[in-house]
């Protein structure tokens, strides 16, 4: 075997074996622009005599070995070198068949060239295999230090390669922004934008040039100002020093002409007619339209009310309503467009129904114009509006009790009607199912929102008994046109008894006057009197008045403290309608009655007519009387209030002496004075049966005073 072959074989067999410090192979660094060739130096610092070396360096896709580019340095002494790339790895072998050592102990051993790719990067050059041999062909230890190659350039990366402005109205300006990021390792210089069509609706307000450092970003805006409808698909080129050639951004848009129909809001009161306007703003020359409205239940189209505005140019309209759908067609035979580009187009009238607001919007809207000799629907949008309906809301009780009313009086009762709505409530008419009823107020009558009105119901009938009717209130409440009120009541004949028990002294008998106020003729009376039986008992002393002439009176005890009285006539004698006392009965004093107030309870009262009907209209009664040491007004203490007492008070006022003068009885009004007021009050008592005026109410508050005696003048 030749010696050279032996050396190569030894290098292969002992690759990677053994290691001793002191021999270091260093791969150098280099940088350059994309596509350039750069030189990489391989140097060595060694303590051993190194006669041969082999180094393997994997290469990135962006690095290409330049064949034949290996150059030995001055440290070689007739050495040979071979280099080549296999499986992406650059293999370099330096050797000498005579095992001559490289000169020196440090410095470059060889260099080679690499061609750079076009992507910015810093690529490590690492040794995947390193073999060093000495002058004896023995492998000596060695280590490698890595190097690198940098490809220096700027590279632009975009946030989006497509900018879509979408559907946009013409005659307006729109701006979109994209971001440029420098993913390279050298500054990116952006000098401007190039649009592919000129003139163009696209532009930019970004100020150029822009310098973007490595890793930095910048925003660039694109402004779009379309003037015509159509589909746009253009590109803009970002002019820059990016290594990447993908700098074209697609621009898309769908500009359209704005032709809009707007239903305008309206407001009104239920049952009224409102005018609803429609406006049109149009960029195209609109010459006709077709509208359909599915009318909500709250709206009713007024026939023939659809009218064009002054924008018309000889246009013709046709309107119809079928199955709740309002259809309107407007056209121009010569295809004349409406004048102007904005403003009211037409109006129509709608009757408001119900109380709920609603929305009115076209279910179909066509705006026609001739574009490029072709009739097209150019409506870009249509808008509805709220039709506000204000309405009254009636509220009242559904029942009205008139109560019980004497047939001598009109039955009168108030009914309050409220308006809980947000529009005036008008009461047009009030009707009663039963004749004879009426209200005092004049109609029609309007009630403001959140207010109320009282209606006075009057029933003047003299017919006795229960009655009922329905009060029908007609109003403009859209959902309650008729409000029914059930009216009930009772009419009765005012037939009453009254009992007056006179105040007495503790030893006097009790006298009770019975009076009757009767609407009907009465021929029979019955009542029970419950009395204080410890002090009184019934007597047979019954005195009738002229009103009760012809009637017989009887009595009987029905319990220890109750007596029943009967008035009757065997010849159908009756007490005519009227009022006044009918008789007086007495209760006999059995013992000294303590001073105080006592009651008589009158129950089981019946007032009978000739046809045996009880016509008493009242309830059980209580009559109160007082037992005192003296009677108010009984100045001479004889148990009676009469003219004698009247004269004694008069003489007292005049200053004459009065024997047995009871001053406390004379001070009727209780003001501790005997004067003209007391004089008038006792006169009323004698003439009319009771003390009159405010002072009379104080008579029970008087205190007993001793009787005074004084010298007198001649009595009156």
> pLDDT tens digit string along 689-714?
778 644 333 343 333 333 333 333 33
- 3 state SS of 647: helix
- Looking at the chain, the whole-number percentage of residues with pLDDT higher than 90 is 77
Q: Is the pLDDT of residue 17 over 60?
A: no
Q: What is the CATH number of the domain that holds 678?
A: 1.10.1330.10
Whether residues 128 and 234 fall in one domain? no
Closest CA to 24 of 203, 145, 182, 110: 145
H-helix segments, 560-642: none
Q: Which residues pair with 29 in a beta bridge?
A: 148
Whether residues 506 and 602 fall in one domain? yes
Cβ atoms of 702 and 672 closer than 8 Å: no
Closest CA to 38 of 187, 190, 152, 158: 152
- How far CA 624 is from CA of 47, 541, 598, 699, in Å, comes to 149, 21, 6, 14
User: How high does pLDDT run on average in the chain?
Assistant: 90
Q: Is the pLDDT of residue 539 over 90?
A: yes
Instruction: Give per-residue pLDDT as tens, 479-496.
Output: 999 999 999 999 999 999
Whether residues 33 and 129 fall in one domain? yes
**Domain range enclosing 114:** 3-151
H-helix segments, 606-700: 643-654, 663-666, 676-688
Whether residues 622 and 706 fall in one domain? no
Q: What is the CATH number of the domain that holds 433?
A: 2.60.40.10
C-alpha span between 224 and 226 (Å, rounded): 6
C-alpha span between 254 and 229 (Å, rounded): 7
Please tell me which residue, 43 or 662, carries the higher pLDDT value: 43
Q: Is the pLDDT of residue 11 over 60?
A: no
Whether residues 330 and 448 fall in one domain? no
Q: Is the pLDDT of residue 648 over 50?
A: yes
Position 689 scores a pLDDT of 76
Cβ atoms of 218 and 210 closer than 8 Å: yes
List Cβ neighbours of 426 (8 Å cut-off, separation of 6 or more).
392, 444, 445, 446, 447, 475, 476
Whether residues 505 and 436 fall in one domain? no
Cβ atoms of 78 and 51 closer than 8 Å: no
C-alpha span between 321 and 300 (Å, rounded): 10
Whether residues 249 and 272 fall in one domain? no
Whether residues 609 and 657 fall in one domain? no
C-alpha span between 60 and 39 (Å, rounded): 16
Domain boundary among 492, 507, 528: 492
The number of distinct structural domains making up the chain is: 6
- What's 154's DSSP letter? B
Instruction: Give per-residue pLDDT as tens, 251-262.
Output: 999 999 999 999
Average pLDDT (52-60) is 96
Cis peptide, bond prior to residue 444, ω within 30 of zero: yes
Domain boundary among 369, 390, 411: 390
Position 692 scores a pLDDT of 65
Whether residues 465 and 503 fall in one domain? no
Whether residues 125 and 225 fall in one domain? no
Cβ atoms of 43 and 28 closer than 8 Å: yes
- Looking at the chain, the whole-number percentage of residues with pLDDT higher than 70 is 94
Whether residues 401 and 483 fall in one domain? yes
Q: Is the pLDDT of residue 8 over 80?
A: no
Would the pTM of this model clear 0.75, i.e. be above it?
no
Cβ atoms of 90 and 108 closer than 8 Å: no
Angle separating helix axes 643-654 and 676-688, nearest 10 degrees = 170
Average pLDDT (239-254) is 94
Q: Is the pLDDT of residue 685 over 90?
A: no
Domain boundary among 89, 119, 151: 151
Whether residues 639 and 508 fall in one domain? no
Closest CA to 41 of 67, 71, 86, 82: 71
Element at 286 (helix H, strand E): strand 286-294
Q: What is the CATH number of the domain that holds 329?
A: 2.60.40.680
């Amino acid at each position: 075997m030749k010696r050279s072959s032996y050396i190569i074989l030894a290098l292969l067999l002992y690759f990677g074996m053994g290691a001793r410090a002191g021999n270091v192979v260093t791969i150098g660094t280099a940088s350059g622009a994309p596509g350039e060739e750069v030189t990489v130096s391989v140097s060595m610092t060694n303590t051993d005599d190194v006669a041969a070396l082999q180094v393997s360096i994997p290469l990135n896709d962006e690095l290409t070995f330049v064949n034949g580019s290996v150059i030995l340095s001055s440290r070689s002494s007739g050495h040979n070198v071979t280099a080549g790339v296999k499986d992406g790895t650059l293999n370099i072998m330096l050797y000498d068949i005579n095992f001559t050592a490289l000169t020196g102990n440090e410095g470059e051993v060889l260099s080679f060239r690499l061609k750079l790719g076009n992507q910015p990067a810093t690529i490590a050059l690492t040794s995947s295999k390193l073999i060093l041999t000495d002058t004896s062909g023995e492998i000596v230890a060695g280590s490698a230090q890595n190097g690198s190659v940098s490809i220096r350039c700027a590279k632009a990366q975009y946030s989006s390669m497509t900018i879509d402005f979408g559907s946009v109205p013409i005659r307006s300006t729109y701006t979109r922004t994209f971001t440029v990021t420098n993913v390279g390792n050298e500054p990116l210089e952006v000098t401007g934008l190039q649009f592919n069509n000129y003139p163009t609706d696209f532009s930019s307000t970004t100020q150029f040039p822009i310098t973007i450092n490595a890793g930095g970003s910048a925003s660039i805006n694109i402004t779009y100002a379309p003037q015509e409808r159509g589909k746009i698909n253009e590109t803009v080129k970002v002019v820059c020093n990016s290594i990447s050639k993908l700098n074209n951004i697609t621009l898309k848009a769908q500009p359209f002409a704005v032709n809009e129909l707007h239903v305008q809001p309206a407001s009104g009161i239920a049952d009224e007619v409102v005018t609803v306007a429609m406006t049109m703003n149009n960029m195209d020359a609109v010459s006709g339209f077709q509208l359909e409205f599915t009318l909500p239940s709250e709206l009713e189209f007024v026939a023939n009310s659809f009218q064009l505005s002054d924008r018309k140019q000889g246009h013709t309209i046709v309107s119809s309503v079928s199955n709740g759908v309002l259809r309107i067609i407007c056209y121009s035979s010569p295809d004349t467009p409406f004048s102007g580009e904005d403003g009211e187009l037409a109006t129509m009238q709608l009757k408001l129904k119900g109380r709920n607001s609603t929305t009115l919007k076209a279910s179909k809207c066509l705006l026609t114009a001739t574009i490029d000799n072709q009739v097209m629907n150019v409506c870009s949008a249509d808008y509805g509006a709220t039709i506000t309906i204000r309405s009254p809301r009636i509220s009242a009780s559904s029942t009205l009790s008139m109560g019980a009313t004497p047939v001598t009086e009109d039955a009168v009762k108030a009914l309050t009607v409220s308006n809980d709505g947000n529009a005036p409530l008008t009461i047009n008419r009030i009707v009663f199912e039963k004749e004879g009823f009426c209200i005092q107020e004049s109609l029609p009558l309007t009630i403001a929102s959140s207010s109320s009105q009282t209606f006075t119901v009057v029933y003047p009938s003299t017919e006795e008994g229960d009655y009922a009717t329905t009060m029908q209130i007609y109003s403009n409440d859209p959902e309650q046109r008729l409000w029914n009120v059930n009216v009930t009541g009772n009419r009765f004949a005012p037939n009453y008894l009254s009992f007056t028990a006179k105040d007495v002294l503790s030893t006097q008998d009790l006298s009770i006057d019975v009076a009757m106020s009767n609407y009907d003729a009465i021929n029979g009376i019955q009542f029970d009197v419950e009395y204080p039986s410890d002090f009184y008992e019934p007597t047979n002393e019954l005195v009738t008045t002229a009103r009760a002439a012809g009637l017989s009176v009887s009595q009987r005890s029905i319990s220890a403290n109750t007596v029943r009285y009967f008035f009757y006539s065997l010849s159908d004698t009756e007490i005519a309608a009227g009022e006044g006392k009918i008789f007086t009965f007495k209760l006999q004093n059995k013992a000294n009655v303590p001073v105080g107030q006592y009651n008589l309870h009158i129950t089981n009262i019946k007032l009978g007519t000739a046809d045996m009907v009880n016509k008493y209209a009242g309830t059980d009664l209580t009559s109160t009387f007082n037992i005192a040491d003296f009677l108010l007004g009984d100045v001479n203490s004889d148990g009676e209030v009469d003219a004698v007492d009247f004269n004694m008070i008069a003489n007292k006022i005049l200053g004459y002496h009065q024997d047995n003068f009871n001053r406390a009885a004379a001070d009727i009004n209780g003001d501790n004075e005997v004067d003209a007021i007391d004089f008038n009050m006792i006169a009323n008592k004698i003439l009319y049966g009771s003390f009159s005026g405010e002072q009379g109410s104080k008579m029970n508050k008087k205190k007993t005073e001793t009787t005074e005696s004084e010298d007198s003048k001649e009595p009156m």
